[in-house]
Amino acid sequence: MKIAVTGRPGIGKTTLCMKVFKAVGDAEGFVTLEVRERGRRIGFKLHDLKSGEELWLARVGEGYPKVGKYVVFVDSIERFSERMKYYKGVVIIDEVGPMELKSKSFINSMYELIESPNDLLVTVHYKSRHPLVERIKRDFKLYVINEGNRDDVAEEIIKIFKK
């Protein structure tokens, strides 16, 4: 089963992915974690669900490429995307969004995953019009989460993947 989750920033997409990961057990992939200093968001890290390895995805600062005020670390995305071709079973990718889409390697790895027999749980940026995101929204079972449904959606996805 191929499932996509979207919703506004901060609504709980990453939390949903972590709930599914913990409940399913035999899953792999990565989530994107917010990094804060003194209460202010300074960036994001990629977190490998199996190994626990973390690499900077983006951080406030000067450099290229940029998404808003964040410099994107394409080399980190590419290091994580190299692993994607070896994932088996339930695969969780949080998120397919503007920062990750700066990497051609990530985009190619995502297309390979879409074509694979793996079960996928992918979060997508809610406003993106990138062809990859559009394909995911069109071809996957799509959930739009909000404060009222996010816990129920997590439970439904867990039931689907546990079958």
Q: What is the pLDDT of residues 116-149, one digit of tens each?
A: 999 999 999 999 999 999 999 999 999 999 999 9
The domain containing residue 157 runs over which residues?
A: 2-32+74-162
Beta-carbon contacts of residue 155 (< 8 Å; ≥ 6 apart): none
45 domain residue, yes or no: no
Q: Give pLDDT, residue 148.
A: 96
129 domain residue, yes or no: yes
Beta-carbon contacts of residue 123 (< 8 Å; ≥ 6 apart): 4, 5, 6, 13, 14, 16, 17, 93, 94, 95, 96, 97
Count how many domains the chain has: 1
Q: Give pLDDT, residue 147.
A: 96
Q: Give pLDDT, residue 26.
A: 84
Q: What is the mean pLDDT of the chain?
A: 96
52 domain residue, yes or no: no
The whole-number average pLDDT for the span 31-43 is 96
CATH number of the CATH domain containing 122: 3.40.50.300
56 domain residue, yes or no: no
pLDDT tens, 58-72? 999 999 999 999 999
101 domain residue, yes or no: yes
144 domain residue, yes or no: yes
Q: Give pLDDT, residue 118.
A: 95
85 domain residue, yes or no: yes
* pLDDT more than 90, % of the chain: 93
Q: Say if residue 113's pLDDT is above 90.
A: yes
Q: Which amino acid is at 103?
A: S
